[in-house]
């Protein structure tokens, strides 16, 4: 297993388990303690987990943030493109010029919505993939087509810091760009697969409300 794949699986496992010991990770992945230490160091530097004595733990959000970004609340919202519920780490919110707000499950669908809605869009907010903090999509750093694909494909993830985007890219690949680069990337991908839109999103139940 490549380092990028191992780190992705480790983070996913840790999100479910809460904490993991070094011995558990060594046994599960079949690698040396030094390899696990390198993975944990890299992931901690990228704010994907926190190191604890003898292992690692997922990053817990403060109570105020947990309440504000309640999973129960988000699970009731459906993506305007593919009808999937969004998560805080991938949330994309579009405000139209008429004041209406539209929610996308991930930056992939957010950019798809920009292409679909065109001049109707006034502003957009996207979540930093590592912290979940919302920031301006127009000022975000996008990683396109990396190996981490938690939602729609091809993967598009957003970061509010160029440094963090570069660190994440080193471990998980993909191409870094700005808002216009992401628009051009997805428009090209749609054209290659289906001139009517994204083939991956088209396969999901649509929300026609």
Domain-by-domain residue ranges, the chain? Answer: 3-57, 74-202
**pLDDT tens sequence across 109-120:** 999 999 999 999
SS3 209: coil
Cβ contact 131:173 at 8 Å: no
- Across all residues in the chain, what is the average pLDDT? 83
74 vs 44, more confident? 44
Question: How many whole angstroms separate alpha carbon 60 and alpha carbon 55?
Answer: 16
Helix H or strand E segment including 180: helix 179-193
pLDDT of residue 130: 85
| Tokens, residue 125 | 């907010």
Please state the pTM of the whole predicted model.
0.62
Question: How many whole angstroms separate alpha carbon 37 and alpha carbon 169?
Answer: 19
**pLDDT tens sequence across 86-144:** 877 898 999 988 888 899 999 999 999 999 999 999 999 999 998 888 889 999 999 99
SS3 70: coil
Chain-centroid distance, C-alpha 162: 15
**pLDDT tens sequence across 164-205:** 999 999 988 999 999 999 999 999 887 655 544 455 555 444
3-57, CATH topology level: Arc Repressor Mutant, subunit A (1.10.10)
């Amino acid at each position: 297993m490549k380092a990028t794949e191992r780190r992705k699986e480790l983070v996913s496992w840790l999100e479910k388990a809460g904490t993991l010991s070094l011995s558990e990770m060594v046994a599960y992945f079949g690698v040396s303690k030094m390899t696990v230490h390198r993975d944990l160091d890299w992931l901690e530097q990228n704010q994907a987990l926190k190191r604890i004595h003898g292992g690692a733990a997922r990053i817990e959000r403060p109570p105020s943030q947990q309440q504000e970004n309640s999973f129960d609340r988000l699970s009731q919202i459906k993506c305007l493109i593919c009808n999937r519920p969004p998560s805080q780490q991938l949330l994309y919110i579009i405000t139209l010029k008429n004041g209406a707000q539209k929610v996308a499950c991930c930056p992939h669908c957010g950019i798809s919505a920009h292409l679909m809605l065109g001049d109707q869009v006034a502003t957009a907010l996207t979540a930093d993939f590592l912290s979940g903090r919302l920031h301006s999509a127009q000022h975000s750093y996008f990683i396109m087509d990396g190996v981490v694909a938690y939602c729609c494909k091809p993967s598009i993830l957003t970061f509010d810091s160029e440094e963090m985007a570069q660190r994440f890219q080193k471990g998980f690949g993909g191409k870094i760009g700005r808002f216009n680069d992401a628009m051009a990337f997805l428009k090209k991908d749609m054209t290659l697969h289906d001139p009517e839109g994204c083939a991956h999103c088209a396969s999901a139940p649509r929300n026609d409300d």
